[in-house]
Amino acid sequence: MGIKGLTKLLADNAPKAMKEQKFESYFGRKIAVDASMSIYQFLIVVGRTGVETLTNEAGEVTSHLQGMFNRTIRLLEAGIKPVYVFDGKPPDLKKQELAKRYSKREDATKELTEAVEEGDKDAIEKFSKRTVKVTRQHNDDCKKLLRLMGVPVVEAPSEAEAECAALCTNDKVYAVASEDMDSLTFGAPRFLRHLMDPSSKKIPVMEFDVAKVLEELELTMDQFIDLCILCGCDYCDSIKGIGGQTALKLIRQHGSIENILENLNKDRYQIPEDWPYQEARRLFKEPNVTLDLPELKWTAPDEEGLISFLVKDNGFNEDRVTKAIEKIKSAKNKSSQGRRLRRKQPRQLRTRKQRQVERRNKLERSTLPLLEYLTSYCNSARVQCFPMSQPR
């Protein structure tokens, strides 16, 4: 779920903290990617028609492999260096949210069965997506694929979003890429949405800067965390009737959830019983992450391993896989050459006299067109003009 309504709240109240970027503008950047979110997107979008999905000869789903393979190649071709972060054990506080998701999938499965019996294509499309779940097998498949591609994999001790934020905070990566906004709440300095969008549409990447978010909202990081809890997060229910705008107003007015609860109209707003907002706050401020962060390494692809895994085990087309491997090799060479060229370009030192000449030439270039225009105007209008000297 992430943080409910946070994107719209920031768009309305902190627009300067958001900017659209081209996919290619992240050339040379290391990006931590929330792997589970990406796999979920691939399972929903790639090769899906109603209840039908991409499978191998054994009937095992391969949509996640196809999506991960193609998208990662596109990242590498753009000079981006992805590192995929996988979820570990979820916090106990998240069990309630996971139980809700399970219940919703059960309901969607029943609705899907009815839709199939009735032949309702729109309903089939709608409910089939709601039954999708990322399994341990999906994760293991993608980990194996990425390692064969020479792309680093990080296994978080708990939440992937928190691990991504830790990588970014410690300058291991430039930014975090996901669709859930939790990484901002975990303190990631930069956050990217739509970088991993699996659709064929070229949606621009949306970049969020957490320092500008706090500046625009006029909040501290602690207050921003409380705001996110009030909006609704994965760790606890929110107060019914309090949406994003109201939550922002209350945080600005009272400064913390404790002060809000002391002053809140209990007749108008119902506070959840035994509301664990303090534990949720602790999980955002002190998440379970890797203290000794790994050294991230991008290596050459294992060509034989990729062909064996994708072609022999999962029925991919061998010619396409072979061509894709060449793309990976070419992309990695291009990326390393680009970095070397950037390093080799020395800064040109100029003398004071050279700088003065450059400024004078620049002034002449900017002034001459105006002088020519005024002279032409005076001549055509037959008016008396005072002589103007050329700039020296």
With DSSP H G I counted as helix, E B as strand and the rest as coil, what are the percentages for the chain, rounded to 5? Answer: 55, 10, 35
Domain 218-286 has CATH 1.10.150.20: yes
Across the chain, what does the average pLDDT equal? 83
> How many CA atoms, within 13 angstroms, populate the side-chain half-sphere of residue 284?
29
Asked whether the predicted pLDDT for residue 107 surpasses 50, the reply is yes
User: What is the model's pLDDT at position 134?
Assistant: 86
User: What is the model's pLDDT at position 336?
Assistant: 59
User: What is the model's pLDDT at position 93?
Assistant: 82
Do the two domains 1-217 and 218-286 of this chain adopt the same fold?
Answer: no
Question: What pTM was computed for the model?
Answer: 0.79
Q: How confident is the model at residue 31 (pLDDT cuts 50, 70, 90)?
A: very high
Give the residue-averaged pLDDT of 376-387: 52
Percent of the chain topping pLDDT 90: 57
Q: Which of 311, 237, 298, 303 lies closest to 270, judged by CA?
A: 237
CATH of span 1-217: 3.40.50.1010
Asked whether the predicted pLDDT for residue 391 surpasses 80, the reply is no
SS3 per-residue string spanning 109-175: HHHHHHHHHHCCHHHHHHHHHHCCCCCHHHHHHHHHHHHHHCCCEEECCCCHHHHHHHHHHCCCCCE
Give the residue-averaged pLDDT of 83-105: 80
User: What is the model's pLDDT at position 119?
Assistant: 67
Asked whether the predicted pLDDT for residue 148 surpasses 80, the reply is yes
User: What is the model's pLDDT at position 245?
Assistant: 96
Distance CA 155, CA 288 (A): 12
- Asked whether the beta carbons of 303 and 327 are under 8 A apart, the reply is no
User: What is the model's pLDDT at position 272?
Assistant: 87
Instruction: Evaluate the CA torsion angle 233, 112, 194, 293 in order and state its sign.
Output: positive
Give the residue-averaged pLDDT of 44-58: 65
Asked whether the predicted pLDDT for residue 139 surpasses 80, the reply is yes
Asked whether the predicted pLDDT for residue 42 surpasses 60, the reply is yes
Q: What is the pLDDT of residues 211-246, one digit of tens each?
A: 999 999 999 999 999 999 999 998 988 898 899 999
User: What is the model's pLDDT at position 124?
Assistant: 64
Give the residue-averaged pLDDT of 109-122: 64
Asked whether the predicted pLDDT for residue 345 surpasses 50, the reply is no
Bridge-partner residues for 21, per DSSP? 205
Asked whether the predicted pLDDT for residue 341 surpasses 60, the reply is no
Backbone torsions φ then ψ of 78, nearest 5 degrees: -85, 5
Q: Which of 35, 121, 127 lies closest to 75, judged by CA?
A: 35
- The set of residues, in sequence order, having a beta carbon less than 8 Å from that of 84 and lying 6+ positions away, is 33, 35, 38, 142, 143, 146, 151, 152, 153, 154
- Asked whether the beta carbons of 3 and 231 are under 8 A apart, the reply is yes
- How far CA 270 is from CA of 75, 236, 274, in Å, comes to 46, 14, 12
Asked whether the predicted pLDDT for residue 357 surpasses 60, the reply is yes
Q: How confident is the model at residue 365 (pLDDT cuts 50, 70, 90)?
A: low
Q: What is the pLDDT of residues 252-296, one digit of tens each?
A: 999 999 999 999 988 889 888 889 999 999 999 999 999 888 789
Domain range annotation of the chain:
1-217, 218-286
Distance CA 86, CA 92 (A): 18
Indicate the DSSP class of residue 85: E
